[in-house]
Amino acid sequence: MFIIQSYATAVLFCVVTMFCWGSWANTQKLAAASWRFELFYWDYVIGIFLTALLFALTLGSTGEGGRGFLEDLRQADGANIGLALLGGAVFNAANILLGAAISIAGMSVAFPVGIGLALVLGVLVNYADNPVGNSAVLFMGVGLVAAAILLNAFAYRRTAANAQGVSGKGLVLSVVAGVLMGFFYRYVAASMSADFETPEAGKLSPYTAVFFFAAGIVASNLVFNTLLMRRPFNGPPVSYADYFRGQGRNHLMGILGGVIWCVGMSFSIIASGAAGPAISYGLGQGATVIAAIWGIFIWKEFRNAPRGTSVLLTGMLLCYLVGLGFIIAAR
């Protein structure tokens, strides 16, 4: 299977992850005019699973290092498969809440608050499990990200106080999504062997882990999204019949969103061997900067904000960028 050998290459892969994770929600925004989030999400999940399978059968099955995907499947321990499936279920619960928050509050709020909080928790949890990197520098970067979260939340509350139809529901959903999102990665990392070249018996390769992670998303979505369709956070209930009446373009937007996100997830997991799970996850969650830029400058989500909000948003972006620099420098 394909294995990253250098830290510099691992950082490059994490940067790709950052752009993928920060950009997939544009497909939701593009489909939102005529397509409910709950319906979009079925195609999004299909895109994730197909991409995970494609990576497993290509990069995960070529090269001389490690174990190939099919060989890895045959020797995998049930407990490790369960950890990857659990990671998928936890992620799916968090991501559904995040998607609902995007539909209510926009990308420039849901991502910095939800994913920023997930970054803080995820780095701490993954570092506790696998302490790779300079802890002082790493946690300094995490502290700056936490400051960025507070600045963004304050900017959104100012906007909400001066605009009709803007409620705190999107902010609350972002926070709950962030707490859940901070824990999914550790389950996937725990299912894998720390050494990709000579993996432990029973442990999963990164490609097999992502495959079972995606399977966990699909299985949990049958429960989570069905409930959400019946009791949505925003708008009237929708049905499976509504999904099958959707236009081809809307279905393609959802699948594309899943493909983009899963490319980022696969790159992050592949990079974790050389960078360590905490740094790999932390850099990938720099997606908050990318999403905030999309939301602020392209989708104009703060166009009606009161005077002074732009200063808060600029401070938020600077804190994120400097914080990410510290996270990179931690190793």
pLDDT at 251: 96
**Nearest Cα residue to 151 out of 309, 322, 321, 323:** 309
Taken in order 185, 115, 12, 328, is the CA torsion positive or negative?
A: negative
Splitting the chain (331 residues) into consecutive groups of 10 residues, what average pLDDT does each group show? Answer: 94 94 90 87 97 98 92 96 98 92 80 83 88 91 85 76 62 90 93 93 97 98 96 92 94 96 96 91 82 83 83 90 89 80
| CA distances for 235 relative to 100, 163, 219, 222, angstroms | 11, 20, 25, 20
pLDDT at 59: 96
Main-chain phi, psi angles of 192, to 5 degrees: -100, 155
pLDDT at 9: 96
Q: pLDDT tens across 185-196, in order?
A: 999 999 999 899
| CA distances for 211 relative to 55, 69, 182, 206, 218, angstroms | 8, 10, 20, 9, 11
Q: pLDDT tens across 237-261, in order?
A: 999 999 999 999 999 999 999 999 9
**Residues with Cβ within 8 Å of residue 73, at least 6 apart in sequence:** 208
CB 272 within 8 A of CB 189: yes
Model confidence, pTM: 0.87
CB 218 within 8 A of CB 92: no
pLDDT at 167: 56
Q: What is the C-alpha separation between 247 and 213, in angstroms, rounded?
A: 29
Q: Where are the domains of the chain?
A: 7-329
